């Protein structure tokens, strides 16, 4: 087995999830290498070298400054073919998902995603994936010479070792067609304000609230329960509630004892940020909402009636 792990970075930090995948890959044996692709890798190469990779490939080019997938497909496709890698692994993210899917097509390589584990079973590579809102667990395999996999963020913890990888700079060749999508502007959002990550109880609101004024209901309920208020990406994007309160793939990952989802449909993007919660209660008027598939208690009804009534009941119970 000859494995390549894509290390994702932002600024001068390598994603912990991708280092976790690298450590996992190194533990499976065979040859393990990692690839960093960006415009300024000087400070990153050293960080990458001590998580189990024998070699860290560096693709440094100003055209790789933006975190866009298509130029990276060119880099990885060339490297996989040139070095005869048979396995390429990624930690799931906005960038890595697009990159892995496109690379699968370029290399005619099978891609299994949302994996939580990977093992060699009598020489055969087997991935493990929860499916149908985690109601079933599936063992998956590959029938192509090159095997690609995306892992859930946080599937593995990075394990640091004393070993140092050999660093190898790559000559970067990019197809003009891969450079047509261009980053025009990026605005970093710095986390600020009250932290939802430490809250025992979270009352979260989504598009079903109907507008920013709907959050007043949630704030009242959260206060009664002694919890914090969180939001989905859809309402943060719409400007109804601030970004630091966002739960989901591109927001925060939370695991409170109680997660009360109000007017939230339950997209995967949201689910990955809260599926570790102790007890999940969902209120939604749409009986088809995916959130009901992983809520311990699902309530189909009008949140405008239920939430104030529940807040009053909670206050009474605590009084």
Distance, in Å, from the CA atom of 92 to the CA atom of 115, rounded to the nearest integer, reads: 9
Among 181, 212, 255, 276, binds another protein (CB under 8 A): 181
Residue with tokens 């149908």: 132
Q: Are 204 and 230 in contact (CB under 8 A)?
A: yes
Site for another protein in 90-109 (CB under 8 A): 93-95, 97-106, 108-109
Shortest distance, CB of residue 14 to another protein, whole angstroms?
13
Q: Measured at the alpha carbon of residue 98, what is the angle toward residues 140 and 58, in degrees to the nearest 5?
A: 100
Distance, in Å, from the CA atom of 80 to the CA atom of 306, rounded to the nearest integer, reads: 55
Query: Would strands 9-10 and 13-14 be described as parallel, antiparallel, or unpaired?
Result: antiparallel
Q: String of b and e for 68-92 (b: at least 16 CB within 10 Å)?
A: bbbbbbbbbbbbbeebebbbbbbbb
Confirm or reject binding of residue 295 to another protein (CB under 8 A). yes
Confirm or reject binding of residue 159 to another protein (CB under 8 A). no
Distance, in Å, from the CA atom of 118 to the CA atom of 261, rounded to the nearest integer, reads: 32
Q: What mask of x and - would describe binding to another protein in positions 65 to 84, judged by CB under 8 A?
A: -xxxxx--x-----------
Q: Which is nearer to another protein, 171 or 180 (CB)?
A: 180
Site for another protein in 242-261 (CB under 8 A): 249-250, 257-258
Shortest distance, CB of residue 276 to another protein, whole angstroms?
11
Q: Tell whether the torsion through CA atoms of 8, 14, 16 and 21 is positive or negative.
A: positive
Residue with tokens 């300024």: 40
Confirm or reject binding of residue 116 to another protein (CB under 8 A). no
Q: What mask of x and - would describe binding to another protein in positions 14 to 53, judged by CB under 8 A?
A: ----------------------------------------
Shortest distance, CB of residue 104 to another protein, whole angstroms?
6
Number of residues that bind another protein (CB under 8 A): 99
Q: Which is nearer to another protein, 42 or 136 (CB)?
A: 136
Confirm or reject binding of residue 177 to another protein (CB under 8 A). yes
């Amino acid at each position: 087995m000859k494995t390549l792990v894509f290390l994702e970075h932002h600024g001068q930090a390598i994603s912990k999830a991708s280092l976790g995948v690298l450590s996992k890959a190194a533990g499976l044996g065979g040859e393990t290498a990692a690839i960093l692709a960006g415009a300024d890798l000087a400070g990153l190469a050293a960080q990458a070298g001590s998580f189990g990779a024998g070699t860290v490939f560096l693709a440094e080019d100003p055209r790789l400054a933006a975190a866009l997938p298509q130029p990276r497909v060119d880099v990885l496709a060339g490297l996989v073919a040139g070095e005869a890698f048979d396995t390429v692994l990624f930690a799931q993210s906005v960038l890595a998902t697009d990159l892995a899917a496109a690379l699968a097509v370029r290399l005619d390589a099978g891609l299994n995603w949302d994996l939580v584990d990977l093992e060699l079973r009598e020489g055969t590579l087997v991935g493990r994936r929860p499916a149908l809102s985690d109601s079933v667990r599936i063992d998956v395999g590959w029938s192509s010479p090159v095997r690609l996999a995306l892992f859930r963020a946080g599937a593995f913890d990075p394990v640091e070792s004393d070993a140092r990888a050999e660093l190898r700079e790559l000559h970067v060749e990019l197809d003009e067609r891969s450079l047509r999508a261009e980053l025009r502007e990026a605005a970093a959002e710095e986390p600020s304000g009250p932290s939802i990550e430490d809250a025992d109880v979270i009352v979260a609101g989504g598009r079903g609230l109907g507008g920013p004024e709907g959050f007043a209901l949630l704030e009242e309920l959260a206060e009664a329960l002694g919890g914090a208020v969180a939001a989905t990406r859809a309402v943060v994007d719409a400007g109804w509630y601030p970004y630091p309160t966002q739960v989901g793939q591109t927001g925060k990952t939370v695991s409170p004892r109680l997660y009360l989802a109000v007017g939230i449909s339950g997209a995967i993007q949201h689910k990955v940020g809260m599926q570790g919660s102790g007890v999940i209660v969902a209120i939604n008027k749409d009986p088809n909402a995916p959130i009901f598939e992983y809520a311990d208690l699902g309530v189909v009804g009008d949140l405008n009636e239920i939430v104030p009534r529940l807040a009053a009941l909670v206050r009474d119970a605590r009084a």
